[in-house]
A and B are shown apart, each in its own frame.
Chain A
Amino acid sequence: MSALFTNKTQAIFWNNNVKAIQRMLDYDYICGREKPSVSAIVHATSENSFQKFFFGVREVLVPIYKSTKDAVDAQPEADTFLNFASFRTAYDVTMEALEFPSLKTLMITAEGIPERLAQEINIQAKKLGRTIIGPATVGAITPGCFKVANIGGSIDNIVKTKLHKIGSVGLVTRSGGLFNELANIISIKANGLAEGVAIGGDRFPGSSYLDHMLRMEKNPDVKFMVLLGEVGGSDEYDIIEAKKSGQLTKPIIGWCIGTVGQYFQGPVQFGHAGANANQDKEKASIKNEEMKKAGIRVPKNFNNLPELIEAIYHRLLAEGTIDKETSKNVPNLPEDYTAAINAGKIRKETNFICTISDDRGAEANYAGVPISQLAMPDTGYNIGDVISLLWFKKRFPKWTSDFIESVIKTVADHGPAVSGAHNARVSARAGKDLISSLCSGILTIGPKFGGAIDGAAKYFKYALDNNLDPREFVADMKKKNIPIPGIGHRIKSVRNPDKRVEELKRYAKEYFPSCELLKYAEKVEQVTTAKKDTLILNVDGTIGVLMVDMWRNNGYSETEIDELIRSGTLNAFFVIGRTIGFIGHILDEKRLNMPLYRHQFDDILYDVKEAEELAPVTN
């Protein structure tokens, strides 16, 4: 009988545990396996049908199946099932996997499977002649051939502890944490493992020390065995009996950890679920005593275990039972990109730059200000401050952020008839989702709808910067045949002023340190309203010129302001504000559930000339 695994062993991995699977493939690679050891992944909720992994330098695809059955059907050669389900589902996953005869060895990693369920798994497995490893384990390894998931640790450690090549020692432990440690001792004091199994810390492990040690007895590569037992349970007595009866003849070194338990009254839980001595014979010190009596080699204490391993190894080496150790070449495993970056070994050019926010720390921030410092009302900060930080990377004075917020509130909506809102409503009635309908509204914003803010800021600023007299400016625009952006309203007039404009102007005059461009625009307005009384400074114009005043008062240079205007920043205020209104219109349509809108014929002048009859197409 050979080891638990060979270098041909193929596994189905239940759960797409990418890191653990990659570690298995890395191990396969350094061991010189021809094929990766994981042939399939089972992941019920996966949307992909494969997962990429590295096998050395090249990449390979491992198929993902929705169910164990699909995986087994597609990969009949896989005989090992690695169950990485949580403690809640591990039982169901295992019971299902037991239905497939091709899966001979099933490993369960979950810790905290109810004992009743573990017992059922074990009985079922025994009945069907399958091997269970676990629950609550890191698994098993046959050096040079196959390892389960994370056992053995990093590749560095694996090579250092000789787990990449076959040695002479069979190791069985309960603890996974100490498995590596024992493998380490055995690599220092002897020539490494021939096989190793951590059976897991639960009270009812699926396979016992004895199951594995009987196999190791028959495995010619194993020359001697190391058993690391624990306080609690009585499985070590099976080994004692097997040693006494001659079933186990190879030298065995045994030690039960938890000897400290004898000093404590009452059941003290040391470490594992199974590590609880209910009776004297379950105590570590008693078990160590009994092992010794049966002819198992037992060190004086755990600290002396290495010496004993060394002694047995050298004896067997001298006797010729163990051959002289040879070294094995290890192919160079390319370093993982992330690991190399973290270790500062390589560097990488970035493709993006972000200067406004950072989500990498304990709390995401806006321009360096943690969100919690401004999110709640009692912080005193409003949406204007958030915009200031994310758009301008500045904390503006309160009068500024209040102004920004006032602008947003002012432009939030202007009824269903304006083109943007109309488009949004028509799209919503066409059954489009919120985002599509909103896009249709927003995409309407431009030079003629909402865009006058930009234009107003641009032209008024230009005029004032160049010291144009208001009359001169109006005449100049007339000459160029450009209507002055921000001037004129459909119904509002000097006698019937726009309340929104009145309020914005009042606020600016009261709270802005100065508002020169507004004053200039008002002079322009006097000129234009003298011609026609609806040619007032409208809400777009007011916002446009006040934004320029706002930036000037916050210390922005003229070039900076020109740049802001050019990049469309002013329109952005309109977009933010009006999005609120558009969403309102869309939600309104969704509530009303009106049918698809079709424009009426009688509202369209059809002026299409009759075409000449088309000649037939000839080839």
Chain B
Amino acid sequence: MAQREIREITGKSILKGNWETFFGDKWSYDFNSVLITKKDDIQAVQKTHPWLQKKGLVVKPDMLFGKRGKNGLVYIKNTTIGDVTATEAKQWIDSKSEIEIELLSGAKGELTHFLIEPFIPHEQKNEYYLAAKTEKDIDILYISGLGGVDVEENWDKTAEINIPLLATKEEIVALISKNIPSEIEDKQTVSDFAARFYSFFKTLHFSYLELNPVVFSGTAVHVLDMVARIDDTAGFLQAKNWGDVDYPTAFGMTALTQEEKDIKTMDENSGASLKLTLLNQEGRVWTLVAGGGASVVYADTIADLCGINEMANYGEYSGNPSTEETFEYTKRVLDLMTRKKDRKNRAKILLIGGAIANFTDVAKTFNGIIQALDAYQERCRDIGIKIYVRRGGPNYKIGLENLKKAAISFGLPIEVYGPETHITEIVKLSLTEQN
């Protein structure tokens, strides 16, 4: 993988965990934040987080989407701002949980994870915006004295500072103080903090980090909102600094089915790569594709030739999976595929595709597919499927021959093609033929 978005709570927990190193000599950060779901007992949480009892609270979903205020999903007042109690916070969470909501962006889904923090009274003029991102040759640091929900409306007042990747500490400090926006009164504090923020961002392998707003109150720093992406490939370097990081699926992506979870677990425990996303259980076209690049071109071609609604799944297996792994993978796809007949009573299409393998023994990987087809042959016959195969690489002829023989013996219609046929041609063949 690569850049992954993390929850606000995770980002703040990383900030807290490394606070002493980057900010501790000058500022303090109390990290009064807690992640709550519907099933949590708020009384119990109050015991471990005593600040929940005292202060007015702020509640918002922590599920990798922004503009929560504009979506009406920040709970800050019962009658007056800052009067929300823990019990009320929990009631609000329960009322918003497990019902489908639609965001202004059009994304639909259920809310499950919420962040509770103390309400911090402050003046809007003390809201700052700080963000950093990394590009090919530079990092960009954004600083604005007009932080908060309207920062985008005032984007022209945001300083955009390009920092060369090999810039020294002194150069960075100079760049920042030279470019600090004129609206900011306490330029000294903000530049100092921004330089340290950038150092934190860079050292801990963040790809994107945004504090909006961040509020200074004496030596106390309040991070009212945070968005963070980290480069998960740096995990082996940052395990200690990051602590436990989980990568939730984006809001609006339906929760994983058991089959998807199984494949995810297999993937995590294997040297091979095994990916499966169920897109539409009702779809007609199912794929078993070897290789990441190949899986994309199959998806492209299916969407192009018969529309996105017919595409049932997206996935790939690669990196030399064992026969056992291929068997388990195929079984899961076949299980999902053969639960229902096609809604228009057509034969469902199974595309067993892949590019020309470098060194994977094609015949060997096909053995796992054959075993799974054997196990599911009855269900496949019952709902009616037609199989199209295209693959090249070592032993592909034997592989295709074996697969063909097996499918025929199971009473399943099949067509097989080698490298002389274009990789995605079977998509076209399967859709144009009268099935």
Which residues of A are in contact with B by a Cβ distance under 8 Å? 19, 87-88, 112-117, 119-120, 122-123, 138, 150-154, 156-157, 160-161, 174-178, 180-181, 184-185, 188, 201-204, 230-231, 257-260, 263, 265-267, 269-276, 284, 301-303, 305-306
22 contacts between A and B (CB under 8 A): A116-B205, A122-B137, A150-B358, A150-B359, A156-B394, A161-B356, A177-B291, A178-B355, A202-B2, A260-B311, A260-B314, A266-B107, A270-B299, A271-B292, A271-B293, A272-B292, A275-B296, A302-B301, A303-B304, A303-B427, A305-B422, A306-B422
Residues A115 and B2 in contact, CB atoms below 8 Å apart: yes
Residues B205 and A257 in contact, CB atoms below 8 Å apart: no
User: Which residues in A have their C-beta under 8 angstroms from that of B392?
Assistant: 157, 180, 184
Given contacts A114-B234, A153-B393, contact A302 B2 (CB under 8 A): no
Residues B303 and A263 in contact, CB atoms below 8 Å apart: yes
Residues A260 and B422 in contact, CB atoms below 8 Å apart: no
Q: Which residues in window 289-318 of B have CB below 8 A to A?
A: 291-297, 299-305, 308, 311, 314, 316, 318
Residues B308 and A175 in contact, CB atoms below 8 Å apart: no
Q: In the assembly, what is the distance between CA of A220 and CA of B106, in Å?
A: 52
Q: In the assembly, what is the distance between CA of A177 and CA of B296, in Å?
A: 11
Residues B297 and A302 in contact, CB atoms below 8 Å apart: yes
**Residue of B237, B355, B392 with highest tally of chain A CB at under 10 A:** B355
Partner of A259, one of B207, B234, B304, B316: B304
Q: Which residues in window 1-49 of B have CB below 8 A to A?
A: 1-3
Partner of A204, one of B136, B393, B427: B136
A160 to chain B, nearest CB (A): 7
User: Which residues in A have their C-beta under 8 angstroms from that of B302?
Assistant: 260
B329 to chain A, nearest CB (A): 17
User: Which residues in A have their C-beta under 8 angstroms from that of B136?
Assistant: 119, 122, 204
Residues B165 and A123 in contact, CB atoms below 8 Å apart: yes
> Chain B 154-191 against A: per-residue CB contact (8 Å), 1 yes, 0 no?
00000000000110000000000000000000000000
Given contacts A257-B293, A257-B297, contact A303 B356 (CB under 8 A): no
Residues B107 and A265 in contact, CB atoms below 8 Å apart: yes
Q: In the assembly, what is the distance between CA of A160 and CA of B393, in Å?
A: 11
Residues A181 and B308 in contact, CB atoms below 8 Å apart: no
Partner of A188, one of B107, B297, B304, B420: B420
For the complex with contacts A184-B392, A204-B136, 14 further pairs of A-B residues with Cβ separation under 8 Å are A87-B236, A113-B233, A114-B233, A116-B234, A153-B394, A154-B359, A176-B293, A178-B293, A180-B355, A181-B423, A184-B356, A202-B2, A266-B251, A301-B301
Determine the residue in chain A with the shortest Cβ distance to B354: A177
Q: Which residues in window 190-206 of B have CB below 8 A to A?
A: 202, 205
> Chain B 386-421 against A: per-residue CB contact (8 Å), 1 yes, 0 no?
000000111000000000000000000000000110
Determine the residue in chain A with the shortest Cβ distance to B202: A116
> Chain B 304-348 against A: per-residue CB contact (8 Å), 1 yes, 0 no?
110010010010101000000000000000000000000000000
Residues A259 and B300 in contact, CB atoms below 8 Å apart: yes
Given contacts A115-B231, A260-B296, A266-B252, contact A303 B358 (CB under 8 A): no
Given contacts A180-B356, A184-B392, A302-B424, contact A258 B2 (CB under 8 A): no
Given contacts A88-B236, A202-B2, A274-B2, contact A181 B355 (CB under 8 A): yes
Determine the residue in chain A with the shortest Cβ distance to B138: A119
A-B contact count (CB 8 A): 164
Q: In the assembly, what is the distance between CA of A119 and CA of B207, in Å?
A: 12
Given contacts A119-B134, A185-B422, A263-B308, contact A271 B296 (CB under 8 A): yes
Chain B at the A interface: SS class = mixed
Given contacts A175-B293, A274-B2, contact A153 B358 (CB under 8 A): yes
Q: Which residues in window 209-243 of B have CB below 8 A to A?
A: 231, 233-234, 236-237
Residues A123 and B137 in contact, CB atoms below 8 Å apart: yes
User: Which residues in A have their C-beta under 8 angstroms from that of B303?
Assistant: 259-260, 263
User: Which residues in B have their C-beta under 8 angstroms from that of A276?
Assistant: 2-3
Tell me, yes or no, whether B253 is within 8 Å of chain A by CB: yes
A-B interface, 9 closest residue pairs, ranked by CB to CB distance from nearest? A175-B293, A273-B2, A271-B292, A114-B234, A178-B293, A177-B291, A181-B355, A177-B293, A260-B299
User: Which residues in B have their C-beta under 8 angstroms from that of A185?
Assistant: 422
A151 to chain B, nearest CB (A): 8
Residues B233 and A123 in contact, CB atoms below 8 Å apart: no
What total of chain B residues lie within 8 Å of the partner, measured CB to CB? Answer: 58
User: Which residues in A have their C-beta under 8 angstroms from that of B358?
Assistant: 138, 150-154, 180
Residues A153 and B234 in contact, CB atoms below 8 Å apart: no
User: Which residues in B have their C-beta under 8 angstroms from that of A188?
Assistant: 420
Q: In the assembly, what is the distance between CA of A202 and CA of B2, in Å?
A: 8
**Residue of B252, B299, B301, B392 with highest tally of chain A CB at under 10 A:** B299
Q: In the assembly, what is the distance between CA of A272 and CA of B1, in Å?
A: 7
A27 to chain B, nearest CB (A): 13
Q: In the assembly, what is the distance between CA of A153 and CA of B395, in Å?
A: 12
Residues A153 and B3 in contact, CB atoms below 8 Å apart: no
Tell me, yes or no, whether B428 is within 8 Å of chain A by CB: yes
Residues A271 and B295 in contact, CB atoms below 8 Å apart: yes
User: Which residues in A have their C-beta under 8 angstroms from that of B2?
Assistant: 115, 202-203, 273-274, 276
Tell me, yes or no, whether B425 is within 8 Å of chain A by CB: yes
Residues A181 and B296 in contact, CB atoms below 8 Å apart: no
Residues B425 and A303 in contact, CB atoms below 8 Å apart: yes
**Residue of B234, B250, B301, B419 with highest tally of chain A CB at under 10 A:** B419
Q: In the assembly, what is the distance between CA of A201 and CA of B136, in Å?
A: 14
Q: In the assembly, what is the distance between CA of A174 and CA of B392, in Å?
A: 20
Residues B300 and A302 in contact, CB atoms below 8 Å apart: yes
Q: In the assembly, what is the distance between CA of A269 and CA of B267, in Å?
A: 15
Residues A87 and B252 in contact, CB atoms below 8 Å apart: no
Residues A114 and B423 in contact, CB atoms below 8 Å apart: no
Residues A116 and B394 in contact, CB atoms below 8 Å apart: no
Determine the residue in chain B with the shortest Cβ distance to A178: B293
User: Which residues in B have their C-beta under 8 angstroms from that of A176?
Assistant: 293
Q: In the assembly, what is the distance between CA of A231 and CA of B292, in Å?
A: 13
Tell me, yes or no, whether B151 is within 8 Å of chain A by CB: no
Partner of A154, one of B304, B308, B394, B427: B394
